[in-house]
Amino acid sequence: MRIPEMTDWALRLDDLSVARGRGSSAVRAVDGVTQDLAFGAALCVSGATGSGKSSLAVALAGDRGSDARIVGGEALVCGISARRPGRAHSVMTYRVGYLAQNAGPTLNPDLTVGDAIVEPIVARDSRIERRKLEVRVSRLLDEVRLPLGASEKFPHELSAGMRQRVALARALVLDPRLLIADEPLAGIDVEVRHVVRDAILRRRQEWGMAALVVTNDASFAEDIGAERLVLDAGSVVGAQPAGGDAIATPGHEAALAFLGQ
């Protein structure tokens, strides 16, 4: 298989539509989203429950365990068509780190924290040296401000916030070019939310990683210098460039509240 080349854009969405469910029960969750995201940049997607923001994230992440599928338009994710990735799906999921909405609470209870973090590596190369895995775990635990001893614990031995940080470390383990994080602050105490912010900012600045973050936290979006989109019933009804003025579609002025206006 010829590995698709990287482009200048982490994301290029053109009139993208996403459906959830199958057959007669399928519903249009995202409708006509057009947006670009450069490497090194960040985009935060906000909106009320059911607005389609999580459907957008999971479809772009290429999670085949989800019922979300792209049904219209196009999405290029790190140079690969998320709509029809074919055999390049494994390349796309290597380039993209995905932190699902329920990632912390659903960590495999039978794996230690260390094994859970490196599972995406082992799934690709089961022969990798154990010492290399231990070094990677140590580095990531330090990055998310967890003690090294946490690597030998099981998820149930950690607090909800610590499990969420483990899930973040797992999403970063392959050093992705694009991080897609759905509610990354879920369960994390206010005093350690800077850990998520710092991890995103450092990787953007040092490695040019892009980040698409689903969150309604306007202050977090500002902290990471993100562009903003607000969804309602799957459509974009509000937007704000990084450091710029917020705008809302006429008749959808309530979207400004999600932009901290």
DSSP code string of 177-238: SEEEEESTTTT--GGGTHHHHHHHHHHHHHH--EEEEE---HHHHHHTT-EEEEEETTEEEE
Structure tokens at 200: 């995103």
How is the chain split into domains, by residue range?
9-106+177-259
What values do phi and psi take at 211, rounded to 5? -140, 130
* pLDDT tens sequence across 55-89: 999 999 998 888 899 999 999 999 999 999 998 99
In angstroms, what CA-CA distances link 179 with 42, 117, 185?
9, 15, 14
Q: 4: pLDDT confidence band, cut at 50, 70 and 90?
A: low
- Beta-sheet pairing, 247-248 with 235-240: antiparallel
Q: What is the pLDDT of residue 1?
A: 53
Smallest CA-to-CA distance from 51 within 191, 201, 182 is with 182
Q: What is the pLDDT of residue 76?
A: 95
> What is the average per-residue pLDDT within 229-257?
93
**Cβ proximity of 20 and 59 under 8 Å:** no
Q: 125: pLDDT confidence band, cut at 50, 70 and 90?
A: confident
- Maximum pairwise Cα distance, the chain: 58
pLDDT higher than threshold 70 for residue 53:
yes
pLDDT higher than threshold 80 for residue 201:
yes
* pLDDT tens sequence across 96-119: 999 999 999 999 999 999 999 999
Structure tokens at 113: 């924290």
CB atoms within 10 A of CB 149: 9
- Give CATH for domain 9-106+177-259: 3.40.50.300
What's the pTM?
A: 0.94
> What is the average per-residue pLDDT within 138-159?
96
